Amino acid sequence: MIIALAALAITDLVVGVSNDAVNFLNSAIGSKAISFKTIMIVASVGIAFGAMSSSGMMEVARKGIFTPSEFVFAEIMIIFMAVMITDILLLDFFNTLGMPTSTTVSIVFELLGAAVAISLVKIIGADASFSELSNYINTEKATQIILGILLSVVVAFSVGAVVQFVSRILISFRFTERPKWVAALFGGFAITSIIYFIIVKGLKSAAIFSPEILGFIGENPALFLGLNFLFWSLVSLLLTSLFKINIYTLIIVLGTFALAMAFAGNDLVNFIGVPLAALEWYNSWSQSGVDAASYTMEDQPIQTPTILLLASGIIMVVTLWFSSKAKNVVKTSVDLSRQDEGDERFEPNFLSRIIVKFSIQASESLGGLVPKVITKKIDNRFEKPYVYVPKSRVQDMPAFDLVRAAVNLMVASVLISLATSMKLPLSTTYVTFMVAMGTSLADRAWGSESAVYRVAGVLNVIGGWFFTAISAFVAAAIIAYVIHLGGILAVCTLLIIAFLLIVRNYLSHNKKIKETKLEAKLKKSESNSIMEIIEESSSNMSLAFDRANKIYTQAIDGLAKHDIDRLKKSKKGIKKLNDEVEDLRNNIFYFIKNLDEASVGASNFYITALSYLQDMTQSLDYISKASYKHVNNNHKKLRFNQIKDLKETDQFIENLFVDIKAIFDTKNYEELTKIIMNKQELVEKLDQKILKQIERTRTDESSPKNTALYFSLLQETKDLLQATVNLLETYDQNVNLPS
């Protein structure tokens, strides 16, 4: 079990860093203040410094979650094994989803759940009262953690929003045009906050500062902060005036380092604290000569050897550089706080719509109370300077500016420092995420175009946090009880299951990333003239017809063979194609805005072509869903003649789409006319099949469901053909127009 816990500790370090990287990377990555490589170097140095500057006191087992002296060594080992197995599975699950959660909350509730399970076993075995559970468990600590979750969410969001609103009014979006003293005062305040955070949170237990210095800071915080503010304000003024250094970039670099260092120095306990406690108590028990089922634990400190801290720091740094899941978690936070509209990951839900609706109504009501002169001045401060950006580079632009990134790091540092000094159980993940959400709201990033999606995303993340606490408690309790019943056999089985699940998630995640990189997608147009659009969109049309061909064939084959898996692929394929076409339609605004006056006519062609492409996807969507529904409901298989007719239809649709794809691949648009001229012949083929089915229905057809489905498929195929011909006619009519 000790060997297994050591392996689990390494795994937990990897999944833990993947999750917590969002705490210190989101502001720097979102603002693109410095290059990604520089961000990673700064964060890596912070992690290494934090791990090495830790005092090495791993006190998870002594935090008061449960009372060690009430348990024997065998029971403690069961609790610790259950905690570690649950922790890696839970964190890996959240990492795979790309959702940030709290490693502190997960480890605490896992300890609580496992300890409650074993305590109940002891109570029931002794035929004692359940009221004695309080002797084993510190319920007051659990209550503090739950309140800490609520406190983190509300306080961090509110403070972040207020500070960002005030900062934006004072600095505006045109911060480079403001007087140097404004940036200097902001720099003094921000750097002072981060320095105080480094000392209070990052280096509070390190031996770098003498006890006298730390004592002075603790006894005179106001004086220390005041002197620091004056000093760093002057330094900021010198840097901006003489050396032309961007003070906001400096704040972001320093803040990223500080949060990375604090993460490594303080959250390291979440990953290796339990295995180290197990090792320490194993050594104590092995020297006692007492049986494991009789040896009573003692409340003793756990000292971590420096070599283990160094090894842990190396594992964390390597994980930070190579973990694709860490990038996925960071992306969630950055996308939700993006200043401009982008690809929204979360779908709106009932609650997000209600919140946005009432927020708009409240804003309009309160807006009427503020004088129009003040409202106009405030609006001017939030007016962003226009910068032309080609559509292909929109996703490469910063998600938000340097001011917001600096405020994110400053506010998070202040709140975590205050919580640490007041011994409040705030979660660093919750604080950093909710500060980012609060600043994005105050910065008017959640406009009417994106608010309902962003609110839904925040609600999903917050819901995941509470799910973390509940699932950690329940899962750890169940696993602890299973180990209690099954002994070493249960431990081996659970370890194998955990290993297989992690490998499966890893392979699945890698496969998804590779598919995303390799799969072709419809590209947004950036051309100005009709001919340029025709040339540029040829690859789009070739890809669209190729995928439409596969979707149609999968639907017909799946229906003919009653193969639900092929029908699922068809549904998945048309959903993806639908989303991409919808994305192109959503891009029409930016397409038209970037046209010059001489090329405005190109927009009509582009809009018309997209409209017919959408008509095609709607027909395919119906065909795919209707076929899937028929098979999924276990209705009768189609008759042989019906399947034969549908296969023939699929064949001539395939031949048609292959020919069209070849035209767009070779840009031989003269061939479009031939296909358009054959339109009537194609329609007549379908009409003949419809007439044949009418005759069969009058004589020997016995299934209403089959008949209705068959007619629907043929009719939608006719609509698909009509949309296809309309699209080809649009190209044919414009291909010979002058540029």
pLDDT digits (tens, 9 = 90+) for 671-698: 888 888 887 787 888 888 888 878 777 7
Q: Mean pLDDT over residues 199-225, rounded? A: 69
Residue with the larger pLDDT of the pair 628 and 737 = 628
Whether residue 388 has pLDDT greater than 60: no
Q: Averaging pLDDT over each range in 303-307, 477-481, 498-502, which range is the top one?
A: 477-481
Token pair for residue 279?
């090792």
Contact 186, 247 (CB under 8 A): yes
Q: What is the DSSP letter of 198?
A: I
Contact 657, 549 (CB under 8 A): yes
* Reported pTM: 0.73
Whether residue 202 has pLDDT greater than 60: no
Q: Mean pLDDT over residues 652-663, rounded? A: 89
3-class SS of residue 292: coil
* pLDDT tier for residue 37 given thresholds of 50, 70 and 90: confident
Whether residue 231 has pLDDT greater than 60: yes
Q: Averaging pLDDT over each range in 44-48, 234-238, 400-404, which range is the top one?
A: 234-238
Q: What is the DSSP letter of 14?
A: H
Q: What is the largest CA-CA distance in the chain?
A: 101
DSSP string for 618-652? HHHHHHHHHHHHHHHTTPPPPPHHHHHHHHHHHHH
Instruction: Please tell me the predicted confidence (pLDDT) of residue 117.
Output: 92
* pLDDT tier for residue 521 given thresholds of 50, 70 and 90: low
Q: What's the number of CA atoms in the CB half-sphere (13 Å) around residue 364?
A: 6
Contact 620, 687 (CB under 8 A): no
- Return d(Cα 69, Cα 171) in angstroms, integer: 57
Whether residue 478 has pLDDT greater than 90: yes
Closest CA to 183 of 232, 221, 254: 232
- Return d(Cα 83, Cα 691) in angstroms, integer: 68
Whether residue 455 has pLDDT greater than 60: yes
Q: Mean pLDDT over residues 620-628, rounded? A: 92
Instruction: Please tell me the predicted confidence (pLDDT) of residue 280.
Output: 78
Q: Mean pLDDT over residues 121-137, rounded? A: 84
pLDDT digits (tens, 9 = 90+) for 627-650: 999 988 888 888 888 888 889 888
* pLDDT tier for residue 623 given thresholds of 50, 70 and 90: very high
Q: Mean pLDDT over residues 63-74, rounded? A: 77
Q: Which helix (H) or strand (E) holds 609?
A: helix 601-632
3-class SS of residue 467: helix
In sequence order, what are the residues at sequence separation of 6 or more whose Cβ sits closer than 8 angstroms to the Cβ of residue 560? 638, 643, 646, 647
Residue with the larger pLDDT of the pair 507 and 78 = 78
Instruction: Please tell me the predicted confidence (pLDDT) of residue 555.
Output: 92
In sequence order, what are the residues at sequence separation of 6 or more whose Cβ sits closer than 8 angstroms to the Cβ of residue 434? 152, 153, 156, 157, 160
Q: Mean pLDDT over residues 315-340, rounded? A: 76
Q: Mean pLDDT over residues 554-578, rounded? A: 90
Q: What is the CA radius of gyration of the chain?
A: 31
Residue with the larger pLDDT of the pair 509 and 621 = 621
Residue with the larger pLDDT of the pair 213 and 684 = 684
Closest CA to 730 of 672, 680, 685, 681: 672
Whether residue 184 has pLDDT greater than 50: yes
- % of the chain with per-residue pLDDT over 70: 84
* pLDDT tier for residue 56 given thresholds of 50, 70 and 90: very low
Instruction: Please tell me the predicted confidence (pLDDT) of residue 620.
Output: 92
- Return d(Cα 325, Cα 400) in angstroms, integer: 22
* pLDDT tier for residue 482 given thresholds of 50, 70 and 90: very high
Per-chain mean pLDDT for the chain: 80
CA distances from 560 to 435, 566, 644, 693, 694 (A): 55, 11, 9, 16, 20
Token pair for residue 91?
């964190």
Q: Mean pLDDT over residues 297-318, rounded? A: 74
Q: Averaging pLDDT over each range in 81-95, 681-695, 723-737, which range is the top one?
A: 81-95
Residue 52, classified by CB atoms within 10 Å of its CB into exposed (0-12), middle (13-18) or buried (19+), is middle
